[in-house]
Amino acid sequence: MRNIRLPEWTYAHTVLTFSTLAFFGTMLGRLSISPVIPLITDGFAITNTTVGLALTGMWMAYAISHFPSGIAGDRYGERLIIIVALVGTALMGMVVAMAPSVGVFIAGVVLLGAFAGLHYSTATNLLARTHDNLGFAIGIHTIGAPAGGLIAPVAAAWVGYRYGWRPAVALGALVAVPIAMVFALRITPMKPRFPNTPIMERIHPSDVIGFLMRPRILFTALFAFSGAFVWQGVASFLPTFLIDYHGLSVTFAGALFSLYFLIQALSKPLLGRISDIFPRDAGVGVSLITGATGMAGFILFDGLAGVLISVILIGTGLGMAVTVEPRFMDIMSDEEQGMGFGLIRMVFLMLSALGSVSMGFLADSFGWAVAFLGMSGGLLMLFFILAVNTIFRWGL
């Protein structure tokens, strides 16, 4: 019988493994709050609007942190910034869990997002420095987010309704502590790109604007923003849509929502691998057409089978970040990656936050069919633009 030889484990695999685990830790801390919102509103005697304001602040702070995190990684090294992200997530999670007042709760939630946001851009830069097959590496790394989406709602809800919302929020914080310890022990510091350059010396408004105005950066950002915009809308309203439009039970809609995250976790490495093997835009195109078909399928396909197929399609297609982000890294020089990737990710994440309110507005004003078909049409239009750029070799 022929022996099967497994691929040799390298330090690059170690970096990827613990970067993914770190992303999971920062995501779990953020997602442990939403499942126990009813308990939080009762505990503080506040409205959903107040909690919603805190969560909006958290996600905005998360987006804003991407820019300074990339520059800080260049100055002090990626390893240190990722450890700070994990430890800060844990500390702010405990502040939220023990908050004696609404004001402390809101401040803790916002700072939780700020610390968690330090991770992603820095970790992506670390992967770019240690991996040649960056698309596949980003695909594996981003599994941390859907893994958190699978575990956090179930774990936090069970703990919350059994022991109260404070232990539920603390659960997410406590997970980040051992991950920070293991990351510090297993990841070796790499020489920073700009160890002697003060952070503020690298932030010049003219340079920032000039970078964002580059045609290839703007073109790639269009796809990054659109994918994140639709993802935000789906993540906010998919269970509600399945209940209202397809008449599914709350439990079954929740199960399909978990399936959506599971499909993303399974498909992202594949999409990333496609972007490594073929031209980058092949992976982007597959993501766009798959996502568009899934969004339209919810309206055009009949029955439970149609819903399941659509969930699988959007779960695959809306993982398109793993195909777009390597495109950014290809455009930027090694010296630009720390600052540039953090900057562009901050911008498109802040803009994509409008996906939730846009989906809600379209559904309220015109119905679910218009909301889902409209977003499907937007993805198809982008696929056409991408195809034209490829066919006519515009070089964008």
Q: Tell me: the pLDDT tens digits for 96-107? A: 999 999 999 999
What mean pLDDT do residues 319-343 have? 83
Q: How confident is the model at residue 166, as a pLDDT?
A: 93
Asked, for residue 266, whether it belongs to a domain, the answer is yes
Number of domains in the chain: 2
Asked whether residue 392 carries a pLDDT value surpassing 60, the answer given is yes
Asked whether residue 336 carries a pLDDT value surpassing 80, the answer given is no
Average pLDDT of the chain? Answer: 87
Dihedral Cα 137, 139, 140, 143, nearest 10 deg: 150
Q: Which ranges constitute the DSSP H helices of 278-320?
A: 280-300, 303-317
Q: How confident is the model at residue 7, as a pLDDT?
A: 64
Look up residue 259 and give its two tokens. 């399936």
**Spatial CB neighbours of 83, under 8 Å, sequence gap ≥ 6:** 180, 183, 184
**Residues 356 and 303 reside in one and the same domain:** yes
Place of tokens 């790109």: 193
Asked, for residue 1, whether it belongs to a domain, the answer is no
- Rounded to whole angstroms, how far apart are CA atoms 36 and 262? 22
**Residues 194 and 236 reside in one and the same domain:** no
At 139, the amino acid letter reads G
Helix (H, G, I), strand (E, B) or coil at 332: coil
Closest by CA position to 34, among listed 147, 160, 119: 160
- 198 φ, ψ to 5°? -55, 145
**Residues 58 and 154 reside in one and the same domain:** yes
**Spatial CB neighbours of 225, under 8 Å, sequence gap ≥ 6:** 348, 351, 352
Q: How confident is the model at residue 182, as a pLDDT?
A: 94
Q: How confident is the model at residue 1, as a pLDDT?
A: 43
Q: How confident is the model at residue 101, as a pLDDT?
A: 94
What mean pLDDT do residues 123-129 have? 89
Q: How confident is the model at residue 308, as a pLDDT?
A: 95
**Residues 214 and 198 reside in one and the same domain:** no
**Residues 302 and 367 reside in one and the same domain:** yes
Helix (H) or strand (E) holding 129: helix 119-130
Asked, for residue 87, whether it belongs to a domain, the answer is yes
- Rounded to whole angstroms, how far apart are CA atoms 293 and 121? 30
Closest by CA position to 97, among listed 51, 164, 151: 164
Report the CATH number at residue 346: 1.20.1250.20
- Rounded to whole angstroms, how far apart are CA atoms 390 and 396? 9
Asked whether residue 261 carries a pLDDT value surpassing 60, the answer given is yes
pLDDT tens across 29-55, in order? 888 887 787 788 889 988 877 887 888
Q: CA end-to-end span of the chain, whole Å?
A: 51
pTM (2 decimals)? 0.77
What is the per-residue burial (b if ≥16 Cβ within 10 Å, else e) of 344-361? bbbbbbbbbbebbebbee
**Residues 165 and 284 reside in one and the same domain:** no
pLDDT tens across 223-245, in order? 999 998 898 888 777 877 888 89
**Residues 197 and 251 reside in one and the same domain:** no
User: In the listed set 150, 180, 203, which residue is the last one of a domain according to the structure?
Assistant: 203
What mean pLDDT do residues 351-379 have? 88
> Is the Cβ–Cβ distance between 131 and 16 less than 8 Å?
yes
**Residues 192 and 233 reside in one and the same domain:** no
Residue 218: give the domain boundaries.
204-396
- Rounded to whole angstroms, how far apart are CA atoms 147 and 202? 35
